[in-house]
Structure 1
Amino acid sequence: MHSTPSLPHVLVVGGGIAGLAAAARLRGVVDGTVRARVTLLEASPRFGGKLLSGEVGGVRVDLGAESMLARRPEATTLARAVGLADALQPPSTAKASIWTRGELRPLPTGHLMGVPGDLDALAASGVLSAEGLARAAEDLTLPRTEVGEDIGVGEYVAARLGHEVVDRLVEPLLGGVYAGHADAISLSAAVPQLLAIAQRSRSAVEGVRAALAGAAKNPNPAPVFTGLDGGIGAFPGAVAEACRAAGAELRTDTPVAALRRTANGWDVVTEDGGTVTADAVVLAVPAPVAARLLAELAPEAAAELGAIEYAGMALVTLAYDRAELGPLPGSGFLVPPVDGRAIKASTFSSNKWGWLDKSAPDRFLLRTSLGRQGEEAVLDLDDDELVALSRADLREAAGITATPYAQAVTRWRSGLPQYPVGHPQRVARVEAAVAALPGLALCGAAYHGVGIPACIADGWRAATTVTAGEVSPDLLSGTQ
């Protein structure tokens, strides 16, 4: 690594993956160029935010995010840079099902976030009724649907293919990412590839088919998703260790109470009464926390940030003796909300992840998720009630009657920011207001994407903003 004289001091507030990525960028962890002295303050006792692992029944497993998009380069690039290259592992199986209309039915192949590019595969799956299939086929002859700059995902897909496609395919797939509602979620923010198809193609089916055919021509296609041997929960610790090795100071249990602009930069006041002086600040915190810290400095930005809604969810992890279970199909199943079940998905973790199967061959771990925006009351049920609801649905969906020998419930209250129609414009207003405060940048899941690669990219972008540098094209293309 090489550094430059008179390095600025950047304080990063927040030790989730976005904040850690910002610190890694500033200390040259990926590309070897040290851009700043770094102090990172995390309010909680640990780093990683929604990336968390723990033991259930003596087996280490993810209790938060379990995979990351591999066709964006940022996450795999950072993982390799912090020594996790050999730990990257795609799922052992990607065959998922939809529990709908009383049965587990295969998730149709050839789709983009539930929008089919192959009507024959859709029909073969049995997910839709005959009436729903007939309505979906009308997409091929309907006139173009005008979408402008943005439209709700559900509104666009219903106009093209009917409400069954929204209810039984788009809703459960999109809900797995945002824990929100398809009608409210922005097509521009959540599925920009589909927005581009809508803007250039009359037919959604033909546009998706062409896009998938183009992707299939790649001679060395990357897996869509990847995990890590030992779980995604190991990622933030590895990044934190690499940042420390590169000279960053990282602190936990240090919540920030206030930001103050000074003649030469910033004073960051911690809740224990301490003050950290910095030339620049990266706020890598949830939108409500950023709104509180910016209420006096940037009231317009704070108001916009305060209006960003979040959804909560609970994950129920169950550990079984494998001998007591029959075979379970694929990687798990999604549940359309229209079917009125308690759970919204189940992942057969020991099927999905080879590292988990290898680490505990006599055990079988799976998990369910419950709750989404506007339906978080389920999180107030006690652990035993959430486990009972999950087991009842697992029994009906997949015939699982065995009793788990261990269980864990993880609640993620206000865990996922929502991206309604107009979200990109809201983010632009926030960033314009913050730009009036030199040496300040925001990053995290509330802005340009909720996935791990998007959060890492946002951390890199914020680091670049506060050091007035340029993001290396090689860095963002994942070639370094």
Structure 2
Amino acid sequence: MTRIAVVGGGVAGFGVALSVGDDAEVTVFERTERVGGRAATHERDDCVYDVGANYVKSDDERVSRVIRDLDDGLVETEGPVWTFDADGEISEGRDEETPKWTFRDGIGTLGKRLCEASDATVRTDTRISGLRRDEAWYVEDADGGEYGPWDALVLTPPAPITASLLDLAEWEGDVRRELREHVGHVPYRPILTVALHYSFEIERPYYALVNADKDHEVGWLSRESCKPGHVPDGESLLVVQMAPDWSASRYEDDDFDIATDVADRTADLLSKHPLAAPDWYDVIRWRDALPNGGADKNVLRQGAASDLFFAGDWVAGEGRVHRALASGLETGDDLRD
């Protein structure tokens, strides 16, 4: 049976495994203890809150079908997404007919469910640091362990990490150099996300606010109480994603300073002074959070002649979890073909 190695245990990696199905033996290598990538959830004081992807939705019927099949604990986020501008002026958004899915236990459940559905072999806490191409592919972890041979290799980490792996790969030829240069030029931006908890309810006619003109320090703000099972009655928890430039300038700052500034800006945006003093906070750093653009798929396809494939939001060209999943499914189709 064909043996496939997938580097990266995010939704794209499991999309590959799902699409390939029983046609191959798939092993997924994930550098952290958990799968799912930016589909991540934290828990504290009976609160469940999504700190990366806020939800998953799609107008792609195939992606929607995959998500609906993971129906154990699947819930819909209640309320629309409104917008605000650089001056903090809030406006109604457009009505959304597409469901915004998460799980009662948080969006982090998505990676677990996809992992279970894919039936792939998963090696967590395994950071792949080296690649070697002989007659087949071999991968090496940070401790010097080597795995292989593999008939095909799929790289799904963020573009900067993928470029580093290609740069160090033991694989001679112009294709490696061209792929490394091209992938290395896909721009990524960091994001600081801050969760703010309050012992009182925050009533608003919307689930979330998004900065439409990209000219405010706050990029996105959401109310976790709009997700069934996430926040106890009588409490509120806001998840605030800061703009990329602000995040980059404050990335190394102390958590307290970041949270204090974010709480002040949140209070100003929502015109509610008590929001400047949350009961507790949680600061999450995403260094390679979102791509500013995508790779040229025609360039990436050059790797197929050497059984090398790519998947992820940077391949799709949009930093959305459903785009990453769609990219994985499409790459799995290419492998199967």
TM-score, normalised via structure 1 length: 0.63
Partner of residue 37, structure 2: 49
**Structure 1: gaps spanning 5 or more residues:** 1-6, 29-33, 111-220, 470-480
* Structure 1 residue corresponding to 2:53, chosen from 52, 65, 71: 65
How big is the shift at 1:257?
2.3
Higher alpha-carbon deviation: 226-235 or 35-44: 226-235
For 1:326 and 1:466, how far apart are their aligned partners in 2? Answer: 48
Structure with more of its chain in strand, by fraction: 2
Is residue 269 of structure 2 the alignment partner of residue 401 of structure 1? Answer: no
Give the direction of change, closer, same or farther, for the CA distance of 1:380–1:107 in structure 2 (3 Å limit).
Answer: farther
Secondary structure of the residue aligned to 1:92 is coil
Secondary structure of the residue aligned to 1:276 is strand
How big is the shift at 1:49?
0.9
* Structure 2 residue corresponding to 1:412, chosen from 286, 296, 303: 286
Is residue 210 of structure 2 the alignment partner of residue 334 of structure 1? Answer: yes
Cα pair 1:73 1:453 within 8 Å, conserved? no
For 1:25 and 1:442, how far apart are their aligned partners in 2? Answer: 14
* Structure 2 residue corresponding to 1:80, chosen from 68, 72, 78: 68
For 1:102 and 1:407, how far apart are their aligned partners in 2? Answer: 23
Q: CA RMSD in A?
A: 2.4
Cα pair 1:300 1:430 within 8 Å, conserved? no
One-letter code aligned to 1:304: H
Cα pair 2:39 2:321 within 8 Å, conserved? no
Partner of residue 22, structure 1: 16
Is residue 91 of structure 2 the alignment partner of residue 106 of structure 1? Answer: yes
For residues 61-104 of structure 1, the C-alpha deviation after alignment (integer angstroms, 9 at most, x for no partner) is 111112112322344322334xx32533332110524255454x
Q: How does 1:368-383 map to 2 (within 5 A)?
A: 368-373=240-245, 376-383=248-255
Of all paired residues, the percent bearing the same amino acid is 24
Cα pair 2:57 2:322 within 8 Å, conserved? yes
For residues 150-209 of structure 1, the C-alpha deviation after alignment (integer angstroms, 9 at most, x for no partner) is xxxxxxxxxxxxxxxxxxxxxxxxxxxxxxxxxxxxxxxxxxxxxxxxxxxxxxxxxxxx
Secondary structure of the residue aligned to 2:305 is coil
Partner of residue 299, structure 1: 177
How many residue pairs align between the two structures? Answer: 327
**Structure 2: gaps spanning 5 or more residues:** none
Higher alpha-carbon deviation: 270-279 or 289-298: 289-298
Partner of residue 260, structure 2: 388
Give the direction of change, closer, same or farther, for the CA distance of 1:385–1:395 in structure 2 (3 Å limit).
Answer: same
For 1:465 and 1:408, how far apart are their aligned partners in 2? Answer: 40
Secondary structure of the residue aligned to 2:209 is strand
For 2:46 and 2:262, how far apart are their aligned partners in 1? Answer: 21
Give the direction of change, closer, same or farther, for the CA distance of 1:254–1:330 in structure 2 (3 Å limit).
Answer: same
* Structure 2 residue corresponding to 1:460, chosen from 311, 329, 337: 329
Cα pair 1:16 1:49 within 8 Å, conserved? yes
For 2:218 and 2:246, how far apart are their aligned partners in 1? Answer: 15
Give the direction of change, closer, same or farther, for the CA distance of 1:333–1:306 in structure 2 (3 Å limit).
Answer: same
For residues 115-166 of structure 1, the C-alpha deviation after alignment (integer angstroms, 9 at most, x for no partner) is xxxxxxxxxxxxxxxxxxxxxxxxxxxxxxxxxxxxxxxxxxxxxxxxxxxx
Partner of residue 117, structure 1: none
* Structure 1 residue corresponding to 2:299, chosen from 407, 422, 429: 429
For 1:389 and 1:75, how far apart are their aligned partners in 2? Answer: 38
For 1:464 and 1:334, how far apart are their aligned partners in 2? Answer: 34
Is residue 1 of structure 2 the alignment partner of residue 13 of structure 1? Answer: no
Partner of residue 118, structure 1: none
Secondary structure of the residue aligned to 1:381 is coil
Q: How does 1:149-298 map to 2 (within 5 A)?
A: 223-243=98-118, 246=119, 248-263=120-135, 265-277=136-148, 278-295=150-167, 296=169, 297=171, 298=176
How big is the shift at 1:456?
1.5
Partner of residue 76, structure 2: 90
Is residue 207 of structure 2 the alignment partner of residue 321 of structure 1? Answer: no
Partner of residue 180, structure 1: none
For residues 373-420 of structure 1, the C-alpha deviation after alignment (integer angstroms, 9 at most, x for no partner) is 58611222221112111221222222333332221111111211111x
Give the direction of change, closer, same or farther, for the CA distance of 1:102–1:371 in structure 2 (3 Å limit).
Answer: closer
Partner of residue 227, structure 2: 353
Cα pair 2:81 2:210 within 8 Å, conserved? no
Secondary structure of the residue aligned to 1:356 is coil
One-letter code aligned to 1:77: R
